[in-house]
């Protein structure tokens, strides 16, 4: 599984939004640093958070157990199983919000915005 990632914090700076169809094309053109935008492979058995860490990135987390929402990501393209036994409300699940500490994308390619704990709708559920 290959994941292309983007830091939610740059969306604000550039006036981009999660719903923009060409969000990742804009990110590619913007020449962002590797911390903010790039790709990595997720190995079998890894969660998305572990894969990020194993590739040298410090993505946010706290509990690693589905209870705090700090590790939330938005799936823009691809599929990732909704977490089981978690804190996220159905409405956010429907909008593609997932917990990176519990799972990884299951499609061969996925586009993921991390750091969405800073998104107001998600921040409400932060513990
Ligand atoms: Fe707490 Fe994932 S780190 S829900």
Q: Residue 21 sits in a domain of what CATH number? A: 3.10.20.30
Cβ of 118 closer than 6 Å to ligand 1, yes or no, is no
Q: Which range of residues forms the domain containing residue 105?
A: 2-123
Label residue 61 exposed, middle or buried (CB < 10 Å: 0-12, 13-18, 19+).
buried
Q: Is residue 125 scored above 90 in pLDDT?
A: no
Q: Is residue 86 scored above 80 in pLDDT?
A: no
Candidate from 53, 63, 73 with most ligand 1 atoms within 8 A of CB, to mutate:
63
Cβ of 88 closer than 6 Å to ligand 1, yes or no, is no
71-75 mean pLDDT: 97
Q: Is residue 59 scored above 80 in pLDDT?
A: yes
Are the CB atoms for 86 and 122 separated by under 8 Å? no
Cβ of 95 closer than 6 Å to ligand 1, yes or no, is no
Q: Which residue has the tokens 């799972």?
A: 103
| Contact residues for 65 (Cβ-Cβ < 8 A; gap 6+) | 101, 102
* Ligand 1 centre distance from Cα of residue 29 (Å): 31
Nearest atom within ligand 1 for CA of residue 61: 3
Number of domains the chain contains: 1
Residue-wise pLDDT for 94-117, tens only, equals 999 999 999 999 999 999 999 999
69-77 mean pLDDT: 96
pLDDT band at 68 (very low <50, low <70, confident <90, very high): very high
């Amino acid at each position: 599984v290959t994941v292309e990632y983007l830091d939610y914090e740059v969306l604000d700076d550039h006036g981009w939004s999660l719903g923009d169809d060409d969000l990742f094309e804009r990110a590619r053109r913007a020449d962002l640093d590797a911390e903010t935008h790039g790709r990595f492979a997720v190995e079998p058995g890894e969660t998305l958070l572990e894969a990020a860490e194993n590739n040298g990135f410090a993505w946010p987390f706290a509990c690693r157990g589905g209870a705090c929402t700090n590790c939330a990501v938005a799936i823009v393209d691809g599929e990732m199983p909704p977490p089981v036994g978690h804190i996220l409300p159905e409405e956010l699940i429907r909008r593609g919000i997932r917990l990176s500490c519990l799972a990884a994308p299951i499609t061969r390619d996925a586009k993921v915005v991390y750091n969405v704990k800073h998104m107001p709708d998600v921040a409400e559920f932060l513990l």
